[in-house]
């Protein structure tokens, strides 16, 4: 492929040249503007407009690198590896699009949900924290500098703790959930930054592309291996990898509904991307320590998560808590695809990241709509509500089917590819036949807890003494956008598969951009 270069010159730049930076800068600027204006009426429109702009930018960036090239943008006139760099390739463009899509779709839902669950006087600060969380997640994915990953990780984490704690106006247990999340998140971030310190000590650089080159040249000394271990544990906490997941169920259950929708679809996905980037781009599985970690640690823990979390989910009596434990199981599928260590498995992991983001956001939206109308997400309170809220319940059904992986929904393709990836590896190791079987059996467990939800919504008698009406239009529209997407991507599979496959090839290529096609943007 021909090399494409666009070197910074002393000329007026077009706005499109700055898209990698604007992707993060737009929501970052929106947060202080919301606070400075101080108008509760303008807080939501500013947040929504910023999210839509970020979505448009992410789509443009994804289309720009869909053939395998990458975009590099240097800040402050310092060329990488000395200066901070944003580097966009097919892998992080794919994740950026997921995060910005969810951000743009969830905010209309949040408009009504936040009014019901958050005190009016706190709305401006709530949306400011929302924008900071959004900024942090986008920045973690877009940056090509390892220390900047930590900076954006802290921005998203600190704002997330505040967002989760906002649920205290409905349930005081949100405060303990936020505190637990704070403790575990701080431990994870500390492990991660210690790992970065070790890498810097061994290589003298924090640019991820430069780190990869130096680790490859110097080999795996003890400091580099120790740094890898700290990074894996630190990001494993953020991903909610079993058994480092204990913060997640409470945070998702007691946070405001809109916050849970957003976090469930984006936070663990951004952390998983960082984990994948370090494993495949900075270290690469050719680094024996990384390969052994994936096969000996990730693979069994992923399978344990798929079964144990699904079993726990089947015994829950709270809709939101059931979905929280389901998320831990679904993270297991994503980690399994990584651990299988082939192109099909990595493609499946990336696809499942996208599909699960849509399905889980849809289901938590459904839970939020039920909370709005019944005041609770406990099964006892929502019994028979599917008959009174058929439009909301219909969207929940589609989300549940996609979560199981029923053919015709988006979740089917990623699980099918996981099975295919395990079967490909079985030619070398027959134990991978058991891995393929575990995907099927754990999906059957998902049938149990999803069917139980359907039974509660439709087959139980509703409490006729409580008047319940359909959810507001501002909630229904985002739900059915996601429900339609789950069905659309279930039948029209080529688009998502092509992007996910290119993203997987980038990672397996072992660099921050597999080909020599590069659009080099910078500031003077």
Mean pLDDT throughout 73-99?
Answer: 84
Q: Which of 258, 253, 522, 230 is nearest to 372 (CA)?
A: 258
Mean pLDDT of the chain: 85
Terminal-to-terminal C-alpha distance of the chain:
28
Q: Where are the domains of the chain?
A: 291-514
Query: Residue 84: pLDDT above 90?
Result: no
pLDDT band for position 11 (cuts 50, 70, 90): very low
Tens digit of pLDDT for each residue in 280-317? 888 876 666 777 788 888 899 999 999 999 999 999 99
Query: Residue 9: pLDDT above 80?
Result: no
Find out whether 336 and 418 touch, Cβ atoms under 8 Å: yes
User: For residues 327 and 334, what is the distance between their CA atoms, to the nearest angstrom?
Assistant: 11
- Token readout for 148 is 């900047």
Q: Of 19-23, 458-462, 520-524, where does mean pLDDT reach its minimum?
A: 520-524
**pLDDT for res 108:** 92
Find out whether 324 and 315 touch, Cβ atoms under 8 Å: no
pLDDT band for position 511 (cuts 50, 70, 90): low
Query: Residue 517: pLDDT above 50?
Result: no
Query: Residue 518: pLDDT above 50?
Result: no
**pLDDT for res 14:** 61
Tens digit of pLDDT for each residue in 97-126? 999 999 999 999 998 888 888 888 888 899
User: For residues 196 and 203, what is the distance between their CA atoms, to the nearest angstrom?
Assistant: 10
> SS in 3 state form for 463-493?
CCCCCCCCCCHHHHHHHHHHHHHHHHHHHCC
**pLDDT for res 465:** 65
**pLDDT for res 375:** 82
pLDDT band for position 219 (cuts 50, 70, 90): low
**pLDDT for res 26:** 92
User: For residues 106 and 482, what is the distance between their CA atoms, to the nearest angstrom?
Assistant: 10
**pLDDT for res 56:** 93
- The string over 344-367, giving b where at least 16 C-beta atoms fall within 10 Å of a residue's C-beta and e elsewhere, is bbbbbbbbbbbbbbbbbbbbbbbb
**pLDDT for res 315:** 92
**pLDDT for res 15:** 64
Contacts of 110 (CB under 8 A, 6+ apart): 44, 130, 258, 261, 262
**pLDDT for res 524:** 37
Tens digit of pLDDT for each residue in 333-358? 999 989 988 889 999 999 999 999 99
Q: What three-state secondary structure class fits 305?
A: helix
Tens digit of pLDDT for each residue in 412-469? 888 999 999 999 888 887 788 998 999 999 989 999 999 999 999 888 877 666 677 8
Tens digit of pLDDT for each residue in 161-175? 999 998 888 888 889
The pTM of this model reads 0.89
**pLDDT for res 431:** 85
């Amino acid at each position: 492929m021909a090399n494409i270069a666009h070197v910074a010159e002393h000329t007026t730049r077009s706005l499109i040249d700055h898209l990698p930076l604007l992707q993060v800068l737009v929501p970052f600027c929106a947060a202080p503007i919301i606070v400075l204006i101080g108008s509760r009426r303008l807080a939501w429109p500013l947040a929504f407009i910023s999210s839509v702009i970020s979505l448009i930018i992410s789509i443009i960036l994804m289309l720009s690198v869909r053939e395998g090239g990458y975009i590099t943008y240097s800040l402050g006139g310092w060329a990488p590896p000395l200066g901070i760099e944003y580097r966009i390739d097919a892998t992080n463009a794919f994740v950026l699009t997921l995060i910005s899509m969810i951000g743009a779709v969830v905010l209309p839902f949040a408009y009504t949900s936040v009014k019901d669950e958050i005190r009016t006087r706190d709305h401006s600060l709530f949306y400011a924290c929302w924008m900071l969380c959004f900024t942090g997640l986008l920045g973690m994915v877009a940056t090509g500098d390892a220390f900047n990953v930590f900076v954006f990780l802290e921005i998203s984490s600190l704002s997330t703790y505040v967002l989760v704690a906002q649920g205290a106006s409905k349930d005081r247990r949100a405060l303990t959930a936020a505190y637990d999340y704070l403790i575990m998140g701080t431990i994870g971030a500390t492990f991660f930054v210690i790992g970065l310190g070790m890498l810097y000590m061994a290589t003298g650089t924090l640019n991820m592309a430069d780190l990869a080159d130096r680790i490859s040249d110097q080999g795996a000394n003890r400091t580099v291996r120790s740094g890898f271990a700290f990074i894996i544990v630190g990001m494993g906490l953020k991903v909610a990898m079993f058994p480092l997941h204990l913060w997640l169920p409470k945070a998702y259950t007691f946070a405001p509904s809109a916050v849970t929708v957003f976090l469930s679809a984006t936070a663990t996905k951004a952390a998983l991307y960082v984990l994948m980037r370090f494993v495949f781009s900075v270290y690469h599985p050719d680094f024996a320590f990384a390969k052994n970690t994936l096969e000996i640690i990730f693979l069994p823990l992923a399978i344990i998560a798929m079964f144990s979390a699904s079993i726990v989910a089947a015994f829950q009596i709270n809709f939101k808590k059931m979905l929280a434990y389901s998320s831990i199981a679904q993270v297991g599928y994503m980690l399994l695809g990584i651990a299988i260590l082939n192109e099909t498995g990595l493609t499946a992991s990336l696809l499942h990241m996208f599909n699960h983001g849509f399905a889980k956001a849809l289901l938590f939206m459904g839970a939020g709509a039920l909370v709005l109308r019944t005041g609770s997400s406990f099964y006892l309170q929502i019994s028979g509500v599917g008959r009174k809220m058929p439009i909301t319940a219909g969207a929940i059904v589609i989300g549940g089917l996609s979560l199981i992986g029923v053919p015709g929904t988006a979740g089917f393709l990623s699980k099918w590819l996981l099975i295919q990836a395990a079967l490909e590896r079985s030619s070398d190791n027959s134990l991978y036949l058991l891995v393929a079987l575990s995907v099927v059996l754990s999906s059957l467990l998902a049938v149990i807890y999803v069917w139980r939800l359907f039974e509660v919504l439709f087959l139980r008698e509703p409490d006729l003494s409580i008047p319940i009406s359909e959810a507001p239009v501002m909630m229904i529209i985002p739900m059915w956008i996601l429900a339609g997407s789950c069905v659309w991507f279930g039948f029209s599979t080529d688009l998502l598969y092509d992007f996910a496959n290119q993203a997987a090839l980038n990672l397996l290529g072992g660099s921050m951009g597999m080909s020599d096609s590069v659009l080099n943007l910078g500031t003077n």
